[in-house]
A and B are shown apart, each in its own frame.
Chain A
Amino acid sequence: MVDIKKIDDVTWEIAKSGKMNVPARIYASDKLMENMKMDKTLGQVSNVACLPGIVKYSYAMPDAHQGYGFSIGGVAAFSVEDGVISPGGVGYDINCGVRLIRTNLVRDDFDKKKVDILNEVVKNVPAGLGKGAKLRFSRDELSEIMSKGIRWSIDNGFGWKGDSDRIEEDGCMKSADISNVSDNAFKRGMPQIGSLGSGNHFLEIQAVDEIFDADTAKVFGLTEPGQVVIMVHSGSRGLGHQVASDYLRLMEKKYGIAGLPDRELINAPFSSDMGQQYYSAMSAAANYAWVNRQMMAHWVRESFAKVFDSDAKDLGMETVYDVAHNIAKRETHTVDGRKMDVVVHRKGATRSFAPGRVEVPEIYRAVGQPVLIPGSMGTSSYVLAGTEKAMEISFGSTAHGAGRVMSRFAAVKKFRGEAVKKELEAKGISVRAASWKGLSEEAPGVYKDVDEVVRVSDAVGIGKLVAKVRPMGVLKG
């Protein structure tokens, strides 16, 4: 049993013991902590604290739940000099993330054309098993996609010039090196670019429900309740999964698994050749994921333009922002009053950079980066803003979503897909799903309460509430 001490209403600590190099910090309310105690989350957070070169604390965000090796909702920073990088600290779906697109439309506009919009989006955005790309790309094109990221999309007519200014890393990690991406990863990535995938991934047409901070919301392009926005939640598909597996296996073969508390915690010194190779391959997969979401955003723009017989630009379909919530990044942070270069692992955690940080796009630099927190399918999602407090107490990170509480196994027994669809439709949410079973597995009841997750993020101070959005139409993989 993990010995955990309550520091204040929303902060908990596991003291350093055994092989831990640092203590662990958990940001949670009593209610969220009860959920964490039910699975292996706290043990996993303690295991991460044992890894070499970890700085300050091993953190768990309010939505933390059991993962493999690292918990989901885990944040850990390692010294670039004597710390490690771990594929397990990023997750299999590299740069799984969220994009939000605004519009000038209001709920009434959507309601009038609901069926046409959903049909058009379903037609244009591939979702579900075996539903890969609409377009076929060559190996050379895939190489360019991974090297250039969003710049490739814009150069090839899949985006607007301003899109790259509204994406984390400007939509391209320059550390990408495709020579470290395996042939199997290429093979898996080629047929899938521009597809949603399945599992918890979704595309939602939403309406702004509530604005908590009107000034910041305005800067993000969110102006009033009822405004239509579109959210895309997806990642790097099979390509990212393969990069993760490849390096997990390569690191095992090179360093062995003796002494590891969990085989999924395999790691390499960040400064080693192996560490750098993984970082560059992970960066390439991250760029693929940004292009993947960009392609879907592009088709959503085209779908809306067609249905409204207008131009997507006239409909005001600007990107609000695009965040990665499974990633490792080299960043500079202040630790004990001194600047320090660290590799921040965010596995199921969102960057939440404060106003003034150079990484925050100029248009948002006065208010902090937009933080996009998707709910589960059919529940509310949230827009927050990055804070100075997050820089101080979580390496500029906050929660990433709702976090599961019920297994898919139990969900399928408890909910029927048809019933889930009916229940959502009774709430005015139209659903298009690739599989009935997938729908029951992702029923809103299997997730933690996202409202509680963002309330706690705001109370801890690691993300400031800006707006709440509600789904009107859902496309589920």
Chain B
Amino acid sequence: MNLLHYTLHLADNALIIGHRNSEWCGHGPILEQDIAISNIALDYIGQARNFYQYAAELTGNGATEDSLAYLRDAIDFKNCLLTEVPNGDWAQTTLRQFFFSAYQYFLYEQLQNSSNQQLAAIAEKALKEVTYHLRWSSEWVIRLGDGTEESKQRTLRAIDELWSFTGELFTPADYEQQAVTEGYGVDLSQIRENWYKKVTAVFEEATLPLPKENVWMQTGGKTGVHTEHLGFILADMQFLQRAYPGAEW
């Protein structure tokens, strides 16, 4: 059960942030960047599928990647709150991507050594993608932080909006603690420092002030207590599967 929850947590993270990024497709500020963010969305859908396929295997009873993505309600989704916050402007989207990619980078780096071969293999493959996501999003945070006065103000606003969602990344749910005990999960306390170092370095280059580390942080996503946004994401995403139960697409 723990392994299943842990896998679903990884899958849901990828699906929800991928879904959010895909909302940009056709609406990006620069054509090349429209392609880049759609590409990142696509990478995420791929990662989500890999994790869901494994989760479906663990679930049995005819579960599939699609039944897991399309037929669970918000209470069963285990993604971090950060992944579901609305895109906002380009500053908010790229900063969300940076916070999350930095987390995923260190997470997958460890996870590729997991005692669970499936998880290790998925992480190893995904790490290549995440390395690019991290570089791309770091560059945007730097560019916008150190660009114009307006881009700086927008980035500061985005930091204000998103910072309180970063604590949850490193607050383990029971299934994550269990995963560490059983040897296939990543100890979040160990990657936290690297994450903070990376954020510090990028913010410094971006001439952005570093927010305080020990402020009140929002949590709940990992255990199914989400923001109001997730319900709408799922209403949108699951519409066809819910309206036409059992149909093949």
A and B: interacting chains: no
Chain B residues within CB distance 8 Å of chain A: none
